[in-house]
Structures are given as C-alpha cells and as structure tokens.
Amino acid sequence: IKEKYGSNYNIFESAISEKFKAMLTMESELRKALKDGQFELHYQPQKNLNSDEIVGMEALLRWKHPLKGYIPPDDFIGLAEKTGLIIDIGDWVLQEACRQNKAWQDKGFQPVVVGVNLSAKQLYQRELVGKVKKILDETGLAPGYLELEITETMAMTNEENILETIQCLRQLGVMVSIDDFGTGYSSFKYLSVFPVTKLKIDKMFINENREQNQAIVKSIIHMSHSLNMKVIAEGVETVDQLRFLTDEACDEMQGFYFSKPLPPEKLTKLL
C-alpha cells in the first residue's frame, strides 16, 4: 500500500491511528463515566390517543461529559456495544429506570410504564431474565410497569434462546415491544410466534413526507390489532400527523409534537 500511495500513505496511516486513538480514549472515558455517575436518563412521555392521558415514557440515555457537555446516545452506543461495555451500562439503565419509576409511583404520581431500550448483546445474554427479575424485586416495581424494547433485527436471528427469553420475560409479566418497526426484516411468521405486546412504528414512516408512508402506517396499525398487539407511533411532530394517527385508531403516540425527552424533574410536571 505504501508504494502505491506514496506520501499519501502517511496521511492515510495517521488518519487511521487518529480514529483508533479517539476510540480508545472514548472507551476509557465511557468506563469512567459509568464509575463516576456521568450517565443520566431522560424520559419521553407517551400518550394514549383515546384517553389523551400519559400512559408511558421511554427512558433515553444521556452522557453528561464533564468537558463536552451532553453527548447523544448515537455517538457512543455503537462503541459501547463493540467493547461489551453496553452490558454494564445497560444494567445501570435498567436499574435506574425501574428505581425512578417506582419512586414516582410512591410519591403518588399516576403510574406509567417505563420503556427501556435493550441492545442485542443484552438480549442474548443468558442471565438477562434473572437480572430483570432481580431488579424488579429489589426496586419493588411491578413487572407490568416495565417494557423492554428490542428491534426486529435482534429478534429475527437464529439465536435459539431468543424466543425462550421473550417468553420468560412475558411470564414474569414484563412488556416487550418491537422498536423501529418497519426498518428491519420482520417476517409475519416470527411476529405471530413472538409474544410481544406492542409495535413501535419507526419515525421515518411518520414524519418523512413520502406518499406511500400513510398506506404503510395504516397497514401496520391494522396488522398489530389483528395480532392483538398495541401500536405506538414514534416521531410525531405535527398536528396533521397526530390527526391521521387518531383517525386510523393508532393506540399511542410519542414525539416532539407532544414532548421532547425530559430530565426527571421536568417530566413529573406533566404527570
């Protein structure tokens, strides 16, 4: 390569090592963040379109870096997954979301379901069900107030224990939803076999102005209901989108039109 690219090679080489160095730095910073308590959860409320009440909220991870300020999850979840750190971070998220939700219930706020995003590595670990049970026992949160969000791609794998994992979680009484629905490879066969409770229609179908999107959204809503699942639309940004979803009998909505993800002290003002 060196001969072919001549002096450009050095630029190439240093670009790679810069990137690699940045990754190593971030990896050690992520470890430190977990140890020093730099992670926070923000919560985005979810509204029932029939009753107009808040029925749930999604916990979304935020990293409050001491120098760089808030770093969004898309900038570090990938690396956390690659390095396996996502397991420890994910344990913290689960624990914190359950603790917070129970604390709100104890204070007398109306009870809502808290949604927690799982990464593939978390879903595939053998101890997952045991961990979830332990966290529910320790925090005292009733299992029906926890919803685990997995993606289609994570569910539709050949890993044979996935179906069993989901069944065990459901037996505990925990809710399981399919996130970003419509962007992965779902098969009707899997959907009817997995005991999931809710589909989350990906925001792309809701807020990208393409002609086919409304037809797609309608059919996802109808399909969910035929399979006895609830359905929520993500990324609702305008009143027109909200009206369309209400007309089509979508169960719930989440999006900037109603509220951005909020830090805990702001979220309680809506409850």
Phi-psi category of residue 141: left, alpha or beta, with phi > 0 → left and psi -120 to 50 → alpha: beta
180 binds Ca ion (CB under 5 A): yes
Q: 160 touches which of Ca ion, ligand C2E, none (CB within 5 to 8 A by kind)?
A: none
Q: Binders of ligand C2E among 77-96, rule CB under 6 A?
A: 77, 90, 93
Of residues 119 through 138, those in contact with ligand C2E by CB under 6 A are 119
* Identified binder of Ca ion from the candidate list 44, 46, 100, 117, rule CB under 5 A: 117
Spatial CA neighbour of 56 closest among 243, 259, 257, 194:
259
DSSP of 118-155? --HHHHH-TTHHHHHHHHHHHHT--GGGEEEEEEHHHH
Give the number of other Cβ atoms within 10 Å of residue 142's Cβ: 12
| Residue 27 binds to ligand C2E (criterion: CB under 6 A) | no
Alpha helices of the chain — where are they, by DSSP H?
Answer: 2-5, 8-36, 77-83, 85-106, 120-124, 128-139, 152-155, 161-172, 188-193, 203-207, 211-226, 239-247, 264-267
Residues 182-221: x where in contact with ligand C2E by CB under 6 A, - otherwise, as a string: ---------------------x------------------
Is the CB of 95 or the CB of 214 nearer to ligand C2E?
95
* Helix (H) or strand (E) segment spanning residue 113: strand 113-117
Considering the complex, state which of residue 179 and residue 251 has its C-beta at the smaller distance from Ca ion: 179
- Out of ligand C2E, Ca ion, none, what residue 255 binds, judged by CB under 5 to 8 A for its kind, is ligand C2E
State the residues that interact with ligand C2E by CB under 6 A. Answer: 44, 60-61, 72-74, 77, 90, 93, 117, 119, 179-180, 203, 235-237, 255-256, 261
